[in-house]
Homo-oligomer: A and B are copies of this chain.
Amino acid sequence: MSLVEQAPVTFDATSFYAKLDASRMASITLATASTTAKDDALEAIARAVESHAGAIRAANAADLERGAANGLAPGLLDRLALDAGRIAGLAAAVRDVIALSDPVGVVLRGSTLPNGLQLSQVRVPFGVIGAIYEARPNVTVDIASLALKSGNATVLRGGSAAESTNGVLVGLIQDALADAGLPRESVQTIDEFGRPGAAELMAARGYVDVLIPRGSAQLIDTVVRESKVPVIETGAGVVHLFLDESAETGMAVDIAVNSKVQRPSVCNALETIIVDSASAPRLLPAVLGALRESGVTIHADERARAIFPDSVPAVPEDWDTEHMSLDLSVRVVDSMDEALSHIRQHSTHHTESIVTNDMRRAERFLGEVDSAVVMVNASTRFTDGGEFGFGAEVGISTQKLHARGPMGLPELTSTKWVVRGSGQVRV
């Protein structure tokens, strides 16, 4: 488990569960808090972040210094760092959440039964959301804000690398909540319980209603496998693009380059191109040439290398790798069956796209590919809550239960059936 830890901590179960009990009590108040009350608290949080930028930076400097001394990788140190611009970004993110509509209380369906019972299915908060993440203080503010707007209490485990920063942020958030008349315990951290606290959080069925892991594929995998609490999995993307034999060359080039190059480090970026052998001699020189010009390293199978030698030989692990970099795997297949079989074997069920002008094959691809988002003639980069019109994104779910694909605020809620009667009994 990659939850970076320093010194062993003696786990105090009594105070741990007292904290979770306080989260539950806070969640009861939050569940019926008005949208105005929640928005006021969010505005108070945004202001507190802005007016305490100095304290946040001081705590962050302490984390960075300790991280550097502990040999934290430069990429992790960069994610951990908060400068003035990023702190302003935290406050802006909170205000973005204010602009989202409140999902709580929305009636999804309802009816009056023949016996006069009035039935309605209403959106309600989950209750208590746990979050386990690594060294990214912005997640502290993001998750707390999104959970607050959707009426949920939050228990945060941010990892020891950012413990000072997160401590200051959670303190500010709690003061702002109290100022706005909501329970301080609506947002709590369990960082002081160290790794045993993270493990206990995953076992705390009945105390935590849902757990959201954020971070490396390894962290997410650990939480998914270990947790007894239901998890919302925001998984990795080994994203495929299939260039069908009818694909128009220009469209194939544009979609491939945009999917791979626009932002290679995110989960909707392209990892593997599969091309039909009938069109490989036409498509590969143009598509891979344009990708090379953008600085992409092509990991090609033998048949692709025969057509496009400016590449490195693909190794079996390439097909299952989310590169997060300007690296791309390329494979030539002899049929759509073979392409679908490759995708079935190697996809992480995030996003898959086909470039084609053949309607039958387009529909077959949409029907048979088992991914959260399936596309025809579009860049895989469109798998995004903002692009989908959700206003903000809670993450991209790669699981099939509860939510699949880009999640908005409604995905942070459950439902409840409300039955109003006048003395009805069952016959």
Docked complex Cα distance between A422 and B251 (Å): 8
Minimum C-beta distance from A233 to chain B (A): 9
Residues of chain B within 8 A (CB-CB) of A232 are 401
Residues of chain B within 8 A (CB-CB) of A374 are 416-419
Which of B111, B228, B230, B255 contacts A399 (CB under 8 A)? B230
Residues of chain B within 8 A (CB-CB) of A117 are 378, 382
**B419 and A375 within 8 A (CB):** yes
**B416 and A372 within 8 A (CB):** yes
**A401 and B402 within 8 A (CB):** yes
Residues of chain B within 8 A (CB-CB) of A225 are 205, 228
Instruction: Tell me the nearest residue of chain B to A257, going by C-beta.
Output: B425
A373 interface residue (CB < 8 Å to B): yes
Residues of chain B within 8 A (CB-CB) of A376 are 419-421
Residues of chain B within 8 A (CB-CB) of A258 are 425-426
How many protomers of this protein does the assembly include? 2
Residues of chain B within 8 A (CB-CB) of A111 are 389
**A366 and B418 within 8 A (CB):** yes
A415 interface residue (CB < 8 Å to B): yes
Instruction: Tell me the nearest residue of chain B to A379, going by C-beta.
Output: B425
**A401 and B401 within 8 A (CB):** yes
Taking A225-B228, A375-B421, A382-B424 as contacts, is the C-beta distance between A401 and B210 under 8 angstroms? yes
Instruction: Tell me the nearest residue of chain B to A367, going by C-beta.
Output: B32
Taking A127-B370, A378-B421, A382-B419 as contacts, is the C-beta distance between A414 and B400 under 8 angstroms? yes
Residues of chain B within 8 A (CB-CB) of A370 are 28, 31, 124, 127, 416
Per-position 1/0 for A1-42, Cβ under 8 A of B: 000000000000000000000001000100110000000000
Which of B113, B400, B422 contacts A230 (CB under 8 A)? B400
Residues of chain B within 8 A (CB-CB) of A228 are 224-225
A254 interface residue (CB < 8 Å to B): yes
Which of B28, B251, B368, B414 contacts A404 (CB under 8 A)? B414
A377 interface residue (CB < 8 Å to B): yes
Docked complex Cα distance between A413 and B26 (Å): 33
A423 interface residue (CB < 8 Å to B): yes
Per-position 1/0 for A383-425, Cβ under 8 A of B: 1000111000000000111101110000000111111111111
**B378 and A419 within 8 A (CB):** yes
Docked complex Cα distance between A209 and B308 (Å): 39
Taking A126-B400, A388-B119 as contacts, is the C-beta distance between A417 and B373 under 8 angstroms? yes
Residues of chain B within 8 A (CB-CB) of A305 are none
Residues of chain B within 8 A (CB-CB) of A127 are 370, 400
Docked complex Cα distance between A225 and B226 (Å): 10
Taking A400-B210, A402-B401 as contacts, is the C-beta distance between A381 and B426 under 8 angstroms? yes
Minimum C-beta distance from A122 to chain B (A): 9
A51 interface residue (CB < 8 Å to B): no
**A424 and B31 within 8 A (CB):** no
A265 interface residue (CB < 8 Å to B): no
Docked complex Cα distance between A119 and B381 (Å): 14
**B416 and A377 within 8 A (CB):** no
Docked complex Cα distance between A381 and B115 (Å): 14
**B382 and A416 within 8 A (CB):** no
A262 interface residue (CB < 8 Å to B): yes
A138 interface residue (CB < 8 Å to B): no
**A402 and B404 within 8 A (CB):** no
Minimum C-beta distance from A257 to chain B (A): 8
Per-position 1/0 for A147-159, Cβ under 8 A of B: 0000000000000
Q: Which residues of A contact B (CB under 8 A)?
A: 24, 28, 31-32, 111, 113, 117, 119, 121, 124, 126-127, 205, 209-210, 224-225, 228, 230, 232, 248, 250-251, 254-255, 257-259, 262, 344, 353, 366-368, 370-379, 381-383, 387-389, 399-402, 404-406, 414-426
Q: Can you list 7 A-B contacts with CB-CB less than 8 angstroms, sorted by A residue number?
A: A28-B368, A113-B388, A127-B400, A205-B224, A230-B230, A374-B418, A404-B417
A-B CB proximity, top 4 nearest = A378-B421, A258-B425, A400-B414, A402-B402
